[in-house]
């Protein structure tokens, strides 16, 4: 079985979507997929978070992206995530250090987060991945 | 080709067509024929790759105007 492990370090639309799209597509294709959210990526896992901004360098494309989402041509990131997770093959991990740094309360994260883990644990999970990406 | 189910994913961009197809296929019966309608030019290649991963069969891809008709047979 193939496996992809992705490290996500930003909560912005343009960083979140490539990661979620690849992980969700992998899971529905029979792959294992792991997402490790660290630093600002962790902000995307906070309860109720909806991405609306793109990275500052590309903010001129923000309106165009909003249009695509409003028209329904792009599935929402939660739709992709939920469909991937429904296969049982897509796992979402939050970085324990960032969790502490940002002062998150114990139940601050969405229920789709499988676990809060440290670097060594993630490395242990990712070491047999066929593809590993760092998206920042 | 007479499809048992039609999935309309026109005007959806990647990964929309594949998510829509996979969702219907997961509830379909073995050997059913699904017709996926898509305008995303990446759809035929994506569906072929997906099908080869999960064991379904792409029987035919037609292009009518801007619309791809992709026929997928659910594995038995």
Please return the burial class of B57, using the count of CB atoms within 10 Å of its CB with bins 0-12, 13-18 and 19+. Answer: middle
Task: Give the position of tokens 């370090």.
Answer: A9
Cβ atoms of residues B55 and B26 within 8 Å: no
CATH class of B5-73: alpha beta
Those of residues 49-68 in B touching chain A at CB distance below 8 A are 49-50, 53-54
pLDDT at A66: 86
Domain residue spans of chain A: 3-102+129-135
Q: What is the CA radius of gyration of chain B?
A: 11
Task: Give the position of tokens 């896992």.
Answer: A45
Residue A20 DSSP class = H
* List of residues 6+ apart from A94 with CB closer than 8 A: A37, A42, A45, A109, A113, A115, A116, A117
How many Å apart are CA A113 and CA A49, to the nearest integer? 13
Cβ atoms of residues B60 and B13 within 8 Å: no
**CB–CB contact A31 B53 (8 Å):** yes
DSSP string, B22-57: HHHHHHSPTT-EEEEEE--TTHHHHHHHHHHHHT-E
Lowest mean pLDDT among A73-77, A108-112, B67-71: A73-77
CB neighbour burial string for A11-21, b if at least 16 within 10 angstroms, e if fewer: bbbbbbbebbb
pLDDT at B1: 84
Is the minimum CB–CB distance between B15 and chain A shorter than 8 Å? yes
**What is the percentage of chain A residues whose pLDDT exceeds 70?**
100
pLDDT at A112 over 90: yes
Q: How confident is the model at residue A69 (pLDDT cuts 50, 70, 90)?
A: confident
For residue B21, which of A130, B32, A76, A126 has the smallest C-alpha distance? Answer: B32
pLDDT at B45 over 90: yes
pLDDT at B47 over 90: yes
CB < 8 Å to B11, chain A: 71-73
* List of residues 6+ apart from A18 with CB closer than 8 A: A135
pLDDT at A70 over 90: no
Mean pLDDT in chain B? 97
SS3 of A33, please?
A: strand
What element of type H or E holds B21? Answer: helix B16-27
pLDDT at A136: 87
Distances from the Cα of B53 to the Cα of A36, A38, A123, B8, angstroms: 24, 30, 26, 22
Average pLDDT rounded to a whole number, residues B27-46: 97
pLDDT at A120: 96
Architecture of the structural domain at A3-102+129-135: 3-Layer(aba) Sandwich (3.40)
Mean pLDDT in chain A? 95
Is the minimum CB–CB distance between B18 and chain A shorter than 8 Å? yes
pLDDT at A108: 97
Is the minimum CB–CB distance between A31 and chain B shorter than 8 Å? yes
Chain segment A3-30, per-residue pLDDT in tens? 999 999 999 999 999 999 999 999 999 9
Min Cα distance B50 → chain A (Å) is: 5
């Amino acid at each position: 079985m193939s496996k992809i492990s992705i490290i996500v370090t930003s909560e912005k639309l343009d960083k979140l979507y490539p990661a979620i799209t690849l992980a969700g597509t992998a899971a529905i294709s029979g792959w294992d997929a792991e997402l490790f959210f660290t630093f600002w990526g962790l902000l995307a896992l906070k309860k109720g978070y909806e991405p609306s901004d793109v990275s500052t360098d590309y903010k001129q494309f923000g309106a165009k992206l909003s249009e695509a989402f409003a028209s329904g041509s792009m599935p929402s990131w939660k739709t992709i995530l939920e469909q991937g997770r429904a296969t049982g093959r897509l796992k979402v991990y939050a970085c324990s250090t960032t969790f502490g740094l940002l002062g998150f309360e114990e139940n601050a994260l969405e229920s789709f987060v499988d676990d809060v883990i440290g670097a060594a644990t993630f490395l242990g999970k990712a070491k047999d991945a066929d593809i590993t990406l760092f998206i920042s | 080709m007479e499809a048992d189910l039609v999935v309309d994913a026109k005007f959806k961009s990647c990964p929309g067509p594949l998510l829509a197809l996979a969702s219907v296929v997961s509830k379909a019966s073995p050997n059913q024929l699904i017709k996926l309608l898509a305008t995303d030019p990446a759809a035929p290649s994506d569906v072929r790759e997906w099908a080869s991963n999960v064991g379904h069969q792409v029987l035919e891809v037609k292009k009518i105007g801007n619309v791809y008709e992709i026929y997928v047979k659910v594995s038995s």
